[in-house]
A = this chain, B = another copy of it.
Amino acid sequence: MSRIITVGRQFGSGGRELGKRLSDELGVPYYDREIISEIAKRTELAEEYVHRIVEQRPEYHFPITVGRTLQGGASDYLMQQYASVYAEQTNVIRELAERSDCVIVGRCADYILRDRKPLRIFVYADMDFRMARCRERGQKDEVASERKLRRKILAVDRNRRRYYRSYTGQAWGNPANYDICLNTAGTDIKAMAHALAVMIKADQE
């Protein structure tokens, strides 16, 4: 039985680490930033720009007032870009899942691959834990101030929620859309990844 694993995650919760460890445990590829690079290549857009697009809801890329006063052309062009990025995201993710079992982090993969019945994991934790984790692992600019870090975490999550809602029509982080939701605060991500691998392997036998 083939098994695709998708990982949705709150910012700073350790979803990326869990996904990476899980892919190591299972000996399958792990896709995260690679998807962005591939979309960038195919759409001939800059990687950073694609990254910004796939983490935000289309209409939030420019102020509403600007969107309203644009004379059609520029606004249409932007909307087309977002649509083509999402279309390529769908293509890339489907192709990767066709190629082999894998772990895919973020990017609405759970929804895009719903016909393949992936194991859908969502990773979350309380704000204190996520702030501490960001501090521990962050670059210098991320540890500037308590308030700034909290704001950044909330902003990234808000964008993910909007993006997910826009393209899937579902609520991001709602347990009903996932098979397993994991609170990483106070638990050992390594042990968690190992246990998940045990379960997935048992299910494949």
Among the 9-residue stretches A40-48, A57-65, A89-97, A183-191, the one with 4 or more Cβ atoms under 8 Å from chain B is: A183-191
Q: Tell me whether A195 and B199 are in contact (CB under 8 A).
A: yes
CA of A173 to CA of B175 in the docked complex: distance in angstroms? 9
Tell me, yes or no, whether A117 is within 8 Å of chain B by CB: yes
CA of A196 to CA of B194 in the docked complex: distance in angstroms? 10
Task: List the number of copies, as a whole number.
Answer: 2
Q: Tell me whether B179 and A187 are in contact (CB under 8 A).
A: yes
Interface of A is mostly: mixed
Which residue of chain B has the shortest Cβ distance to A120 in the bound complex? Answer: B183
A199: chain B residues at CB < 8 Å are 191-192, 194-195
Q: How large is the interface on A (under 10, 10 to 19, 20 to 34, 35 or more residues)?
A: 20 to 34
A188: chain B residues at CB < 8 Å are 202-203
Given A195-B195, A195-B202, A196-B195, answer yes or no on A178-B186 (Cβ-Cβ < 8 Å): no
Tell me, yes or no, whether A182 is within 8 Å of chain B by CB: yes
Tell me, yes or no, whether A155 is within 8 Å of chain B by CB: no
CA of A139 to CA of B1 in the docked complex: distance in angstroms? 35
Smallest CB separation, A92 vs chain B (Å): 26
CA of A93 to CA of B183 in the docked complex: distance in angstroms? 24
Set B173, B186, B202: member contacting A179, Cβ < 8 A:
B186
Tell me, yes or no, whether A181 is within 8 Å of chain B by CB: yes
3 smallest beta-carbon distances between A and B, as pairs: A195-B199, A181-B181, A191-B202
Can you name 9 extra interface pairs (CB under 8 A) apart from A180-B181, A191-B202, A191-B203?
A: A124-B176, A178-B181, A178-B183, A179-B183, A180-B183, A191-B199, A194-B198, A195-B198, A198-B198
